[in-house]
Each structure stands twice: as C-alpha cells, then as structure tokens.
C-alpha cells in the first residue's frame, strides 16, 4: 500500500511539473519591466509591476532607462521584457514614417505590424491615454494674438518665442512640422530637457509658447490654453505595453497588463502625474494606491 501511494505521489508531482513547464514556462522567469525617463512612464511601469506581482509573478524594475531609442534597444536586446510606449512615438521615432496619419486605429495597426515584422515585438491593447503633443500658451498671449488654433499661431509665430524639449527639434511632428504644415517660424527657440522647466519658463514669461503633452497636470493647474491642431500635424499617442514574444504568448501576463490599461485615461493620468510631481509621492506608492482603490490589487 505504501509503495503504491508513493509511486502515485511521484507520478502526480511529475505530471504537475510537466504541466507548469508546458503551459506557463514564462511564469518561472522574472519579468523585467522598463520605462523611459519621465514621470508618467515611471508611474505606468509601476502600475504594470504591481499588477503582475499581484498576479503571482516575480518582477524586476528597470525604470528610468532614458529616451525612446534607449528603451527600444533594451527591449530588442532582451535587457527588458516590456515597457510602456506611445503609438505616435512608434510611428514617428521608430518607424520614421514619412506620411501623416491621424486615425488612431490606422496608426496602431501600422506600428503593430512594423514591430512584429522588424523586431518580433508585440503591441498589446492600448489604454485610453492619448498623450499627444500639446502646444500651449498663457491666457494673456492667446488673448493678445487671438490664438485658438495652430493655424492662428502660424500667422504670428515670428513674434513669439518657443520653449520645447530636446526631441521636439528633429522630429517631423515637431518644429519642422510646425513650419511645413502651419508656416510657423518662431522669433526664438529655447531648449529645455526637463518638462517642468519649460512650464516654469512659460509661467514666468521667459517664453511665449511651450510644447507639452496632453496628460500634463500643469495645463489645468496653470490655466494654460492648448491650441487646436486643426490640420492634424500630431499623430495619436495612445499608450500601450510593448512586449517581447514570450510575454505576448502568456495569457495571464497579457490579462494583467490590459486590466491596468483599461483603468487609464488622460484625466486619470493627469491626476497621477500631479501626485508625483506636486505632492512628491513616490511613483510606486501612487501606483499601488491607485490599483488598490480600483480593486485590482489587494
């Protein structure tokens, strides 16, 4: 009797081991989550990490890697397994698209197909965050020059100074595009690597215009006016996890990541960004509190 039970137990253990190895091989591996080098990326990466840890996975955080191409190369090489990215960034900075496309689904599909063909990387389902570029002005500037759209801006840009980030200079959906599409040639350009600095410069009237992003908390807090991109220069920038093949093939990981995405939109992200940048809370704390409040983690 003892011999039979022992043999049965060994057989059962072996079967369970095979099941784990066959069905969930990626579960045993540590999931390396990366991010780019700004607040929103820190928070979203922490949201992904907390959700995956709650689902039973071991996570290694590799947050604040650098700009787009640094994070992209880390993903290609396997240094990380996933990171949050924007469809418009994939379209312009990675694909280096030479055409203008503003339909969100078309941009997503073009980027998804390109990444799968060129890099064997997968874009998962996007969130409702569309963090596209915003060209913002102070209310007094908008009133003085009657600015509501980027077409309006193009007519008076030579009287105004622009403060923008480093990537904005060379991208087609940046200064070059503003000139090509709207005829905007600015009186002066001042470069600010940190987003916070360009908003401060705008508030303190060191510049007249600044480029920001749609989920920036400063736009609402400072009552800045985002000019309407009436000719569709800027592509949609919907946020989604970009993942390596072993992650894309794991249904439990994909489910956890997409549950996070379903909770996120621009207004939500503005508030989470504010908590980090104004209230000085740690991104990990903000992410954990948000997911607990939403009932996604214990």
Give the per-residue pLDDT at 25: 44
Q: How confident is the model at residue 232 (pLDDT cuts 50, 70, 90)?
A: confident
Cα–Cα distance for residue pair 296/289, rounded to 1 Å: 10
pLDDT tens sequence across 173-197: 789 999 999 999 999 999 998 888 9
For residue 13, is pLDDT > 80?
no
Provide the pairing of β-strand 122-123 with 161-164. unpaired
Query: What average pLDDT does this structure show over 60-69?
Result: 96
Give the per-residue pLDDT at 236: 92
Give the per-residue pLDDT at 1: 39
Give the per-residue pLDDT at 190: 96
Between 11-15, 112-116, 117-121, 179-183, the lowest mean confidence (pLDDT) is in: 11-15
Cα–Cα distance for residue pair 148/190, rounded to 1 Å: 23
Contacts of 234 (CB under 8 A, 6+ apart): 88, 102, 132, 133, 173, 177
Query: What average pLDDT does this structure show over 235-251?
Result: 96
What is the DSSP track for 61-81?
Answer: EE----SHHHHHHHHHHTS-S
Give the per-residue pLDDT at 27: 52
For residue 264, is pLDDT > 80?
yes
Structural contact between residues 49 and 59, judged by C-beta atoms closer than 8 angstroms: yes
Query: What average pLDDT does this structure show over 235-259?
Result: 97
Give the per-residue pLDDT at 92: 87
Cα–Cα distance for residue pair 97/76, rounded to 1 Å: 20
For residue 72, is pLDDT > 60?
yes
Give the per-residue pLDDT at 28: 65
Q: Quick one: which H or E segment has residue 165?
A: none
Cα–Cα distance for residue pair 189/65, rounded to 1 Å: 27
Percent of the chain with pLDDT over 70: 91
Q: How confident is the model at residue 170 (pLDDT cuts 50, 70, 90)?
A: confident
**Residue 213 CB-density burial (10 A; 0-12 exposed, 13-18 middle, 19+ buried):** buried
Q: How confident is the model at residue 257 (pLDDT cuts 50, 70, 90)?
A: very high
Query: What average pLDDT does this structure show over 103-109?
Result: 95
In terms of phi and psi (left: phi > 0; alpha: psi -120 to 50; beta: otherwise), the region of 133 is: beta
Give the per-residue pLDDT at 195: 85
Give the per-residue pLDDT at 58: 98
Handedness of CA 167, 175, 264, 290 (dihedral sign): positive
Which stretches within 25-98 are classed as H helix? 39-54, 68-77, 87-89
CB neighbour burial string for 261-278, b if at least 16 within 10 angstroms, e if fewer: bebbebebbbebbbbbbe
Provide the pairing of β-strand 31-34 with 188-191. unpaired
pLDDT tens sequence across 17-37: 433 444 344 456 899 999 999
Instruction: Go through the chain and tell me how many residues it has.
Output: 298
Across all residues in the chain, what is the average pLDDT? 90
Look at residues 136, 134, 133, 110 and name the one whose alpha carbon lies nearest to residue 123: 110
């Amino acid at each position: 009797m003892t011999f039979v039970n022992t043999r049965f137990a060994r057989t059962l253990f072996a079967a369970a081991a095979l099941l784990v190895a066959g069905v969930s091989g990626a579960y045993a591996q540590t999931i390396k989550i990366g991010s780019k080098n700004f607040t929103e990326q820190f928070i979203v990466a922490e949201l992904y990490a907390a959700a995956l840890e709650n689902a039973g996975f071991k996570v290694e955080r590799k947050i604040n890697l650098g700009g787009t191409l640094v994070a992209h190369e880390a993903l290609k090489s396997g240094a990380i397994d996933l990171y949050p990215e924007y469809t418009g960034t994939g379209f312009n900075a990675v694909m280096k698209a030479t055409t203008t496309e503003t339909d969100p689904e078309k941009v997503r599909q073009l980027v998804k197909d390109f990444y799968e063909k060129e890099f064997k990387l997968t874009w998962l389902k996007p969130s409702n965050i569309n963090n596209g570029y915003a060209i913002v002005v102070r209310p007094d500037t908008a009133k003085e020059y009657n600015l509501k759209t980027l077409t309006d801006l193009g007519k008076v840009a030579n009287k105004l100074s622009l403060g923008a980030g480093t990537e904005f200079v060379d991208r087609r959906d940046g200064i070059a595009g503003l000139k090509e599409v709207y005829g905007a040639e600015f009186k002066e350009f001042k470069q600010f690597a940190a987003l916070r600095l360009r908003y401060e410069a705008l508030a303190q009237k060191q510049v007249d215009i600044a480029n920001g992003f749609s989920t920036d908390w400063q736009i609402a807090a400072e009552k800045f006016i985002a000019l309407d991109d009436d000719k569709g220069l800027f592509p949609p920038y919907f946020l989604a996890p970009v993942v390596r093949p072993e992650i894309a093939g794991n249904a439990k990981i994909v489910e956890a990541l997409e549950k996070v995405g379903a909770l996120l939109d621009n207004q939500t992200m503005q508030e989470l960004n504010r908590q980090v940048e104004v209230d000085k809370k740690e991104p990990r704390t903000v992410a954990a509190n948000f997911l607990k409040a939403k009932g996604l983690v214990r």
